[in-house]
Structure 1
Amino acid sequence: MNYSSSDAQKRNTEPIRHYNPRSIAQYYRYRPWLAIFRSLKIIFYFGVFILQLILDKWFNQEENNKQKRAEQLRKILTKLGPTFIKVGQALSTRPDLVRKDFLEELIKLQDQLPPFDTKIAFNIIEKELDLEVEDAYKEISSQPIAAASLGQVYKAVLHTGEEVAVKVQRPNLLPVITLDLYLMRLASAWVAPFLPLNLGHDLGLIVDEFGTKLFEEIDYINEGRNAEKFATNFLGDDEVKVPCIYWRYSTHNVLTLEWINGIKLNDLEGIKKAGLNPSDIIRVGVTSGLRQLLEHGFFHADPHPGNLFALTDGRMAYIDFGMMDQLTEETKETIASSVVQLINRDYEALAKDFVNLGFLTPETDIRPIIPALEKVLGNAVGQSVGDFNFKTITDDFSELMFEYPFRVPAKFALIIRSLVTQEGLALSLNPDFRIVEVSFPYVSRRLLMEESPAMRKRLIEVLFKDGKFQWERLENMIAIARSDRQFDLLPTASLGLQFLVSEEGDYLRRQLITALIEDDRLHTEEVQRLWTLIQPEFQPQKLFNVALQAIRQLAIS
């Protein structure tokens, strides 16, 4: 029998909970003792920790005690509960902000947390499902197989024989999270004036974004819907696996989903033992991540090693869809074009894209920023795309934020976190990996092959500057796209020709004719370079197949 998410909701009368800072503030305004008690506890833990760091510095014990202090920080965050654990998890993906010894301990917060009592977990299951545990599951592990910040997971078997994972939320989670978010918001208002304007300006908004995502993450009905939407986006993709949801055994606080037998992405030895090529795993991971950002606009914002698995058949499995986000079409297009502007080192166009994406306000004078971007990003890109990695960009770019009015929109904090985490995972499999070796070909291929009018417009904007056709840019894009083994030039050329002869392509036709004869000369040299570049693709059989397909399409139309 099939069950929908609405069936699960009917069994749980508690409404879906949404983050509302005003309502939370109003609630605790009349209960100040709760906030005071919690604040004193937080201040005590961190006060003692900071005092110990100061004493280490005074007595030259920093080196001797650094591992001890890193462990202390992890334990403090764990004791303070789920909100602070989530903050620690976010920091664990920022090697540009956190020193290495602390980073190694914070990474343990991703999937090495103490579980709560199984008896309590089973009571929650029975209350939520309105079933005895043995009636819901034929078998279930006596202890959790994993414990995370918001819940823990048991392995079970349904009476119909399917192996499943059962996620059970930690008890009394909502009151703890709401109080911590209230205190964080208060603290952000006090701290913001002492920070540089570009960092402190949106501190409250960042807390609100964090709160919104945290509330979404603790609603397992929302997570189940996210998983199904994600699976729909990758329907027919033979490289990505998404577990199915068993709605009959799922509520806001319990989620039953397909069991995944896989290898964690940071387990290089396990991946090699399974006969898998780490480079192929990296390619699948990066390409699927780019598809989320630039095609679907619906992306997994928490891709840490506990949430991504390599399957023995070479597929990538995603789990834990609590933290997701959605991008607009315009944002997707602007991200794609900004990557190409970076390839082409067009820093003026890149600065304009930063304005469109919200990193700079519309009234910002970008003229003094352009040379700064060229200096920082030019060094990061280096002489070739192989010299580039995303962490280099975040490290160097953070320096610009102190000198110019850059700010990180709350949504992009999640994107940056996702990209840095994915690159970190890839580097753990291959220290020589460069994210652009996969991403640049993908973005170039997408711009060249995309049929949507909006993306065509972006391509034209990239290929023309100040009314002049940029021959080198087209060469560069084709050369980079051809390094992607999934790129086939002939179908792309066919799409381009169809567009050129269409009514919509009138402007581009006129511009290309002008480009061929601009500066009072025929640009035969540029055309010859392009032909040399693409000639290997024009094989007789391929040409015949493309021509046949074009004839069929004309016949249909």
Structure 2
Amino acid sequence: MQASLFQSKVYDADVIAKCYGRRPWIVVWRSLQVLWWLGTFVLGLQSDRWFNREERNLTKRAVQLRQLLTRLGPTFIKVGQALSTRPDLIRKDFLEELTKLQDQLPPFSTPLAMMILEKELGYSPEEIYSRISPEPVAAASLAQVYRARLYTGEEVAIKVQRPRLLPVLTCDLFIMRFAAQSLGWLLPLNLGHDLTLIVDEFGTKLFEEIDYLNEGRNAELFAANFQNDPTVKVPNIFWRYSSPKVLTLEWIEGFKLTDVGSIQAASLDTDTLIEVGVTTSLQQLLEYGFFHADPHPGNLFAMADGRMAYIDFGMMDQLNQETKETLVDALVHLINQDYAALANDFVKLGFLTPDTDIEPIIPALETVLGEALGAKVRDFNFKTITDRFSELMYEYPFRVPAKFALIIRSLVTQEGVALSLNPDFKIVDIAYPYVARRLLKGETPSLRRRLLEVLFKDGKFQWQRLENLLQIARSDEDFDILPTASLGLQFLMSEEGRYIRDRLILAMTEDDRLHTEEVQKLWELVKEDVTPSKVLGVAWNVILQSSVDRAADWLPPVAALSASLQPAKSL
């Protein structure tokens, strides 16, 4: 039983329970270790309450928590990293300290690493590599990395898994699951679901992360998604020299994104790197649905030629089309401050159970998230939203599904890296032009219909929403509205755009009046970027790409629009 368990590639709580049910002494000893360290921490917290030292020792206790998780080993380091993205499971006060948690541990011996390598690959290191570093160049919680060169001349990184890792992980997971089943009801957490599901989700992802063949497949799928993107680099996998516990991949020469000095010394443009990072993150979530869930600074490198290199594809996840579109819905509703629709989005995404009464939640969302957005839409950032959203977790039955915990972790980490390169960075500056184009060029009609939801509600045109979108666009000094307008015109002139064409004509004369005041407001926002000649140029390009019959229908309105712009500009 033990042998079959420790060779398993898939997390199975029942198999683990049967194994350790027959070996209680292992569980008891490990439990005593865990209880001693956690008990010491809890006793410290309680003494702070008794002697009114909570506020004074808050930072000290947060640091202590991070250190004890590191001391307890790889499973608990991963727990700490997961908790740093779960405001529904841990107090906001500790979140910031846990985000600093690094999986840095003392390396195990190189001779032992070489024995593992030879056992896994069937050849000695000398037979595979012409040169190999005498010591690991990096040591993490689950593996350590060596730099080497193949006889064919390629520089490679060798990732070797820690010895007897699976027994440690499975024992810890068994203890965690037993505690969740036995003691979960005592925790003052408004989870709205079984705590054992959290352990099982965590265990499943952990097993995927320690299967290096799975990581190699993830890397190749990620590379395929970005194969036509000259700004993204993914290391090649050398399958002949890889196994479930050893991964040989192309060595990436570059700078960590937090190493601002080296990046500047290499004459790399930090704003360009930020744009690449944010755009690729949005592509992963909204286009491909396959995203890198652990983009911390150690997994992202700036290369000398300006490319962004991703490494370590052990923690990945997939979004289906429906989830991608609902995620777009939620972002649109958040920006447009439609909190009733946003509450329904949370139900669809799994943040709230279907039987939840959302009526009392709507004003809470408006209060908390409305303040987080700020007076200007450009003030939007994921860290602020995450911090403010955590305030709702203890008052309302929210939970963060495992998939979205990974998304939150990914977005907040990416934003943090961007801020380290440019403290004035605003994610909306890059995200809005991308999202606007996705709404217009979406690969499915259902995704394109999101544009209708931005501009219409209950069959009526929402002038304020259009104004909001234009304000976001104008916040980016380099954003040119005309290419997006060109896409919009192409969409309007297509057969699929017939519905919105009819709605726009009705909107202009809605309530038996011409909406000249609203149009004038919009014009004031864009007049500096739009001239009659540019508009006619865009319109003519669109007309050339459309059928003659459809173009004929639009020539009079386009001409009228151009004529109306010239007097408006002189006001």
TM-score (norm 1): 0.88
Among 411, 415, 418, which residue is 1:423 paired with? Answer: 415
Q: 1:551 is matched with which residue?
A: 544
Are 1:135 and 2:127 counterparts?
Answer: yes
Cα 1:387–1:502 change in 2 (3 A) is closer
CA displacement, residues 177-221 of structure 1 (integer Å, 9 cap, x when unaligned):
111111111112233312356326242222111111100000000
Q: CA deviation at 1:282?
A: 2.5
Counterpart in 1 of 2:392?
A: 400
Offset, 1:143? 0.2
The partner residue of 1:471 within 452, 457, 463 is 463
Aligned ranges 1:272-421 → 2 under 5 Å: 272-421=264-413
Distance change (3 Å), C-alpha of 1:383 and 1:323: same
Contact 1:74–1:106 (CA under 8 A) maintained in structure 2: no
Letter in 1 for 2:114: F
Structure 2: 5+ residue runs without aligned partners? 1-5, 551-571
Q: Which string of whole-angstrom CA distances, capped at 9 and with x for unpartnered residues, describes residues 244-298 of structure 1?
A: 1111111111001111111112222222222233333323222221211111111
Gaps of 5+ in 1: 1-13
Q: 1:481 to 1:446 in 2, by over 3 A?
A: farther
| 1:1-21: CA deviation from partner (whole Å, max 9, x where unpaired) | xxxxxxxxxxxxx97711122
Within-5 A mapping of 1:160-199: 160-196=152-188, 198-199=190-191
Give the alignment of 1:108-123 within 5 angstroms: 109-110=102-103, 112-123=104-115
* AA of the residue aligned to 2:137: I
Q: Given that residues 193 and 200 in structure 1 are in contact (C-alpha distance below 8 angstroms), is that contact kept between their aligned partners in structure 2?
A: no
Which one is further off, 101-110 or 400-409? 101-110
- 2:95, 2:355 → 1: CA distance? 39
The C-alpha deviation readout for 1:369-415, integer Å capped at 9, x for no partner, is 21111111111011013333322222221221222222211211111
TM-fit CA distance, 1:549: 7.0
Q: Quick check: 1:301–1:415 contact (8 Å CA) kept in 2?
A: yes
CA distance in structure 2 between the partners assigned to 1:127 and 1:208 by the alignment? 31
More off after superposition, 126-135 vs 387-396: 387-396
Over 3 Å counting, the alpha-carbon distance change for 1:496 and 1:67 in structure 2 is: closer
**Structure 1 residue 333, shift from structure 2 partner:** 1.4
Secondary structure of 2:11's partner?
coil
Q: Distance in 2 between matches of 1:362 and 1:56?
A: 40
Name 1:10's counterpart in structure 2.
Answer: none
Name the CA distance, whole Å, in 1 between partners of 2:333 and 2:303.
Answer: 36
Please identify, of 165-174 and 469-478, the stretch whose mean Cα deviation from structure 2 is larger.
469-478
Return the offset for 1:452: 2.5
**What one-letter code is carried by the residue in structure 1 that aligns with 2:259?**
D
Change (3 A) 1:92 1:425: farther
Instruction: Summarize the Cα distance change of 1:117–1:105 in structure 2 as closer, same or farther, 3 Å threshold.
Output: farther
Which of 91, 103, 107 pairs up with 2:100?
107
Aligned CA distance change for structure 1 residues 78 and 71 (closer, same or farther; 3 Å): same
Q: Distance in 1 between matches of 2:495 and 2:545?
A: 20
| AA aligned opposite 2:361 | I
DSSP 3-state at the match of 1:179: helix
Q: Which amino acid aligns with 1:383?
A: A
Structure-2 change in CA distance of 1:378 and 1:57 (3 Å) = closer
**Letter paired with 1:38:** R
Number of the residue aligned with 1:267: 259
Distance change in 2, residues 1:532/1:451 (3 Å): farther
Give the secondary-structure state (helix, strand or coil) at the position aligned to 2:291. Answer: strand
**Matched AA of 2:299:** N
Equivalent in 23, 29, 41 of residue 37 of structure 1: 29
Taking the aligned partners of 2:504 and 2:144, their CA distance within structure 1 comes to 60
Equivalent runs, 1:480-495 vs 2, <5 Å: 480-481=472-473, 489-495=481-487
List aligned pairs for 1:222-237, cutoff 5 A: 222-237=214-229
Taking a change above 3 Å as real, the CA distance of residues 361 and 488 of structure 1, as seen in their structure-2 partners, is: same
Structure 1 residue 126 and structure 2 residue 123: aligned? no
Counterpart AA for 1:208: D
CA separation in 1, counterparts of 2:410 and 2:398? 20
In structure 2, give the amino acid aligned to 1:336: V
Q: Over the residues paired in the alignment, what is the CA RMSD in angstroms?
A: 3.1
SS of the residue aligned with 1:152?
A: strand
How many aligned positions are there?
A: 542
Aligned identity (percent) is 64
- CA–CA separation in structure 2 for the residues paired with 1:64 and 1:45: 22
- Alignment partner, residue 90 of structure 1: 82
Q: Is this contact kept in 2: 1:388–1:436, CA < 8 A?
A: yes
Distance 1:91 1:453 in 2: 38
CA contact (8 A) 1:339 1:443 kept: no
The offset of 1:310, in angstroms, is 1.6
Give the structure-2-normalised TM-score: 0.86
In structure 2, do the counterparts of structure 1 residues 545 and 447 end up closer, same or farther at CA, with 3 Å as the change threshold?
Answer: closer
Distance in 1 separating the partners of 2:534 and 2:499: 32
- Per-residue CA deviations over 1:316-338 (Å, capped at 9, x if unaligned) read 21110000000111111121222
